[in-house]
Structure 1
Amino acid sequence: MNKQYLIAGLCVLTLALAGCGSDDDDSPMGMTPTPEPMPEPESMTFTYAVNITNMTRGQPLSPLAAMVFDGEFQMAKIGEPVSVALEVLAESGDNSQLLDAAMGSEHVYLARSAEGGPLMPGLSQTMTLEVNTGTDSPEGMYIGLVSMLANTNDGITMLSGKDLGGLQVDDTITFETLSYDTGTERNSESADTIIGPAAAGGLQEGFNAERDDFVDELRLHSGVVSFDDGMASSALSEAQRFDNPVMQVEITRMQ
């Protein structure tokens, strides 16, 4: 064969082979194609109905503060001083500072207040919480609830960090909450230092930045003494006495 024709044929074959390859590979020769990014997890909204019942005889409960958070968020702990935001709620019933502080944390998914005024003894109300954690699972999601016992100096009831991860749609869990003394205000029970209706006619002072209690820490509440039980300066009667539990909570997963 003519040597000239042989060389020309080899050149044509080389060019043909260089042009072969997958139609999907547009990367330059010798370079690894960039992998497609993994899809983000599907985001879901989880909906919960929270029904609370005031189990006391004479203690209105201030509008409920509800928070949903991950396992890194800490609510108030027994034996430790409470935050100023919780002190404001415990002495005045105003939950706005507590909710604002919670929403400032990267570990909180939702923080909101129940609508309306105080929940009177024996009554119930339901609030709906719609939570989006950016994932497709409620695992690692917790709920916390706080309310003031209005006919006390600085008493609250609290549900602290209950796990929502195991709830399936239409499942319901029930809790009963205890009463706590935040330890920020002395339990004088006077009409000047209690905001509830039992103190009508007094100054009914709400939040006071001075912490004059004997112990500046959260603890179980010992209850009220009342005028009827010999505390002459008390604005409370035996009707405002309370025992534990003070609030029933039913949480139902709707979606």
Structure 2
Amino acid sequence: MIHPTLQSRGNADTSVVLLTGADRLSLDPVAFSLADSYASVCAISYDVRPNDEADAGLSVVRRVSRPVGQGVGVDDVEIFDLSDCCLSCSVKHDAGGTLASLRGQARVFLVGLPVGLEATPVARYLEDMMRLDSWGDGMGVAVVVNAVGLDEFEERFFDDDRLCVYGTGDEDGVFDERSTGAVVSRLIREATHVLELPVVGRGCLSRHVDADGECACRDIIRAVARRDAVVVEDAHEADLCDIAGLYEVESSVGA
């Protein structure tokens, strides 16, 4: 499935999957689970850190994990300053260069964006670069996946305070000026796939239930998501190869 704001380039030989999330505790487990479901995957993840010496007060951390045997191994970590442009521009420009340098090393590139960052501008930029530069031949942005943790989901969805993208509070935190609830909603809405991270134990059921004793989190997510979005109730059951559309490519080649 192609993100609705992008023009389809047909079945690409190499797929790029963009992963978004409104909290690190949901992003990391889903990213690990997806990477573990397919051998030929290169995982690229982005995060932010406060940096008083940088012009914008922030640094961006990029981690690259390449395929190693039947799993993935962390090869390198690079930190660069967020200087004269926004976080979205910094990440999409770096992602383009990183994908170009890693071309041919995997069939799927799983790109985990920083907490709260929307994927649509990144996807559009990468698609443009793939069309204009030779490194993009046979590559395409396949889908946008949003990781949603069900534990504390309702609290986040109705939270009008600023989204914390790093740290835990005012002393060490980095905040987005948008409200947490607005970001949660926008990330779900733009996604082609929404992967729900189940709660261990009763979780949110012990904090907010309706008159029938049931949690409405899944219903809220389904209502916010696009009508044609794929919603997976257990992220651990998601298959990255299937999400990236590679099964369809292999079937068409075999036919």
- State the TM bucket, normalised to the shorter chain: under 0.3
| Higher share in helix | 2
Q: Please say which structure displays the higher CA radius of gyration.
A: 1
- State the TM-score, normalized to the length of structure 1: 0.28
